[in-house]
Copies of this chain bind each other. A is one copy, B any other.
Amino acid sequence: MTKKWVYAFSEGDGKNKKLLGGKGANLCEMTQIGLRVPPGFVITTEACLAYLDNPKRQLPEGVMDQVHAALVDVEKKSGRKFGGRTNPLLVSVRSGAAMSMPGMMDTILNLGLNKDTLQGLIEQTGNERFCYDAYRRFIQLFGKVALNVPEAEFDEEFNAVRDKAGARHDVDLSAKDLADISERFLVVVKRSTGRPFPSDPHDQLEIAIRAVFNSWGGKRAVDYRREFKITPEMANGTAVNVVEMVFGNMGGDSATGVAFTRDPGTGENVLFGEYLVNAQGEDVVAGIRTPKPVAAMAEEMPDLHRQLLDLRSKLEAHYKEVQDFEFTIEKGTLYCLQTRNGKMNASALVRTSVEMVREGLIDRRAALLRIQPEMLEQLLFPRLDPRFKEKPITNGLPASPGVAVGIAVFDADRAEKRGRTGERVILVREETKPEDIHGFFASQGILTSRGGKTSHAAVVARGMGKPCVSGAEGIHVDVRMRHARAGDKEFSEGTLITIDGTSGAVYLGEVPMIEAEFSKELATLLTWADEAARLGVMANADTPEDAERAVKYGAMGIGLCRTERMFNGVERLPIMIEMIVADSTKERQSALDRLLPIQREDFKGIFKAMTPRPVTIRLLDPPIHEFLPSEHLLVDEIDELEKLREILRGMKVLSDSVAFMNHARDVKPEVQKFTDPALVDEAIHKKRAILSKARSLHEVNPMLGHRGVRLGLTFPEIYRMQIRAILEAAAECQKAGIEVHPEIMVPQVCTAQELKAVRKWVDDIRVEVEDTYRIKLDFKFGSMLEVVRACMRADNLAEQAEFFSFGTNDLTQATFSFSREDAENKFLPMYNRMGILQDNPFEVLDVKGVGRLMEQAVQWGRRTRKDMKVGICGEHGGHPASIRFCHTIGLTYVSCSGPRVPIARLAAAHAALLGGEKIVDKAL
């Protein structure tokens, strides 16, 4: 007995894509669930492989016999006869591998036509023009695809007839013209192949089948598979699908259309689609006639409309997802030709998924898993209207997602001023510094011409959830002139611009956008996600406002509160600078004494907003020189002040004093306000002290410098102030009946001794605060793991730390020895291009290197402290693939910026539902 090479749609296994190809399996499945699909059959991929393996390129024994048998079956079901003079059966022949794969053979339509069957078709349809058109198309397609006739030869003849007929478009051609073309095409084929066009439909079919098989081994397909790394396990050989042709253009009781089972734009539970009466599929696409909405069918063809609704129900009941399907009505019979999962925007996807759960169609697991977490970004940030297609004036780095529109303003002071009047402002700078922070608050978004995704602008904007485009190197910013140029485009202060922090694009003028949509359905979905997840999701938040927002996004607490941000406020930075410039512990302490109540209030605000959730507060991390203005800026300011002093003294008029006075109007108000040389002297003195400090604090590699706990141990009074502010804030909240769970976290730790030293301060201050407030405090003490050595010593650190939090931004830099700013500007894009690295490790956690280290650290840490709480608070904490890895290695929670919390919640659910697939080598 020969092998079974051919399966009728009624018998093929709808799940066996490997054997039947994706398309074939789909047709079998639709047939078997009772949808009316035109009859047909599939020739298996095994037949293809056997054919290609055969050195003589003979079809395997039995294939054509089985094809003929299957054809007989199709004839029976359709009531038509293949090659028949009357009521002829025409078929389409399509390739179809296990995966959709461009580069495979085109479809052949209308196979079975020859002079005889053509007449039958004309009789049947009464549409001579359509039939000749179908005929010439068949000859052309078959000739090209199955017989390798060069397409140009057909085009030449076609154009000759068209010119002769004086037709401008194809549609202007008459039936006669098309008949003429068909004749000429037959000649072309004969001339090109040396043989007449095969007129026997069975010959046509066999040639078509061979052609499909051959195309699998053809250059285009082989190249494609190599390029996209499609292995034989993924797809091996192509199947051939032979299907009866049905026609929607057989009169007023025929039609064709496409539909979604629900509205893909809104997710509303209504049939959504369009159709054309007495038309073919290509007419819908061609756009010559305007299709009607399917709702119209209810009146026009009520019975068929009911059938369509029935089809819709069957599709959803079976596929459990919104379907995008094609249908054709031939003489009052509705055929479903194809169906696939409908592509929808995030909003519709969320709504349909939640509603399908309520309808009992799917369970929560399915609803959660069908939505890729990253898709939610659409719903959480405003975005460009996708219909807007203009080119941006330049592109920078997508540093903080969302779209912002406002007038360009070139310094923070003016941004604040104009922002206060209610204007929408975009702060445009070469790069930003801590002293610009008030400008951030006042702005809709930030645009810089320098700096990467970890530049000050990017990090602060992300923290605030404001859109930011950084490192837009195409823009030349002239702050003094309040002017910017990008190529031949220019803009000045007051010009309306739009920045897209999701893509990095910058536009002149206001670009239409779509607002964020946090729907009820999304809220529901995320509640389900929380129930499914094992990982907790916390937010990074530095202010009470951030904290409130984090709660709205569903954060289970704050995983990272960066205390240094609090020092950047306008009224605080000067005190901070005073503290830094201080020459003695006493002076430093005096500045700290003024910072203490400010920090305490900050913490109280955050605790209140988060109650009763945990709040993890990281002690001061960055090197203190980051709080000082740049050397460059200071030198400039001192220069200007010196000039001003000379002018004021009237002792000497510099040749450029006029120019300077012109400048003076544009410079900072601080400089303008002096009218007394003595005051200028004082200002110069102060600036020089700052400059000298800035120089003494200069570091060769600030990323690896005097920061974090290193700094904390050098100037104990800073950390002590912060610890006191935290514990006093907690005590005051507790006294006021507000439940608080602070967690004090030490940054840049590399040895347990550092933790021990800080812990001693914490213990001492706890005693004092408890005595003063007469309460018992409840808090945790823990360590960042962002230094490689901390990971290597995690077992040891766990003796001091009650929790760990991976700082994967720094850890990635240290593990790769890549300075993020330098890498992203210099070699990382090249590395990605060359395939040396697949991803940017600062965006996608490097599980093989950094991840292996983290996994090791978790194991070691828990060896000492079994139930150790371990989280991640680097940017990776908001990245779905990284979250999955965090789940796998057993982290307790991830923490990310507020607006990414929903994404992370869904990703955490996915991780739990899809299980702990191990990504790195487990044989440690």
Contacts and interface: CB of A to CB of B under 8 A. Distances in A.
A754 interface: yes
Given A789-B846, A814-B788, A849-B792, A821 B701 contact: yes
Interface in A735-765: 748, 750-751, 753-754, 757
Given A789-B849, A810-B817, 5 more contacts: A701-B822, A703-B817, A704-B704, A704-B822, A787-B816
Interface in A771-791: 786-789
A853 B792 contact: yes
A487 interface: no
A288 to B, nearest CB: 53
A849 B817 contact: no
Nearest to A753: B836
A631 to B, nearest CB: 12
Given A810-B817, A815-B789, A849 B750 contact: yes
A856 to B, nearest CB: 8
Contacts of A441: none
Interface majority SS (helix, strand, loop, mixed), chain A: helix
A729 to B, nearest CB: 29
A264 B594 CA distance: 65
Interface in A858-910: none
A706 B826 contact: yes
B704 A703 contact: yes
Please classify how large the interface on chain A is, using the bins under 10, 10 to 19, 20 to 34, 35 or more: 35 or more
A704 B817 contact: yes
Nearest to A756: B836
A827 interface: yes
B821 A700 contact: yes
Contacts of A572: none
Interface string A695-734: 0000111111110001101100000000000000000000
Contact of A702 (B701, B751, B813, B816): B701
A589 interface: no
Interface string A803-845: 0000000100111111101110011001100111100000000
Nearest to A817: B787
Contacts of A702: 700-701, 819, 822
Given A753-B835, A792-B815, A849-B793, A713 B830 contact: yes
Interface string A672-704: 000000000000000000000000000111111
Contacts of A704: 701, 703-704, 813, 816-819, 822-823
Interface of A: 699-706, 710-711, 713-714, 748, 750-751, 753-754, 757, 786-789, 792-793, 795-796, 810, 813-819, 821-823, 826-827, 830-831, 834-837, 846, 848-850, 852-853, 921, 924
Given A789-B815, A814-B788, A827 B706 contact: yes
Contacts of A831: 710, 713
A705 B837 contact: no
A846 B706 CA distance: 20
A15 to B, nearest CB: 36
Nearest 9 A/B pairs, CB to CB:
A701-B819, A704-B819, A789-B849, A753-B836, A787-B817, A701-B701, A705-B822, A706-B826, A701-B703
A748 B817 contact: yes
A173 B417 CA distance: 95
6 contacts: A700-B821, A704-B819, A705-B822, A751-B849, A789-B816, A792-B850
A757 B837 CA distance: 12
B701 A836 contact: no
Contacts of A814: 788, 814-815, 817
Task: Please indicate which of the listed interface residues A706, A786, A788, A835 has the most CB atoms of chain B within 10 Å of its own CB.
Answer: A788
B815 A714 contact: no
Contacts of A786: 817
A921 B837 CA distance: 33
A336 to B, nearest CB: 47
A852 B793 CA distance: 9
A751 B834 CA distance: 13
Given A710-B827, A789-B849, A826-B706, A816 B701 contact: no
Nearest to A748: B817
Contacts of A852: 792-793
Given A789-B815, A836-B757, A705 B750 contact: no
A751 B836 contact: yes
A795 B921 contact: yes
B817 A750 contact: yes
Task: Please indicate which of the listed interface residues A699, A792, A793, A796 has the most CB atoms of chain B within 10 Å of its own CB.
Answer: A792
Contacts of A819: 699-705
A848 B790 CA distance: 11
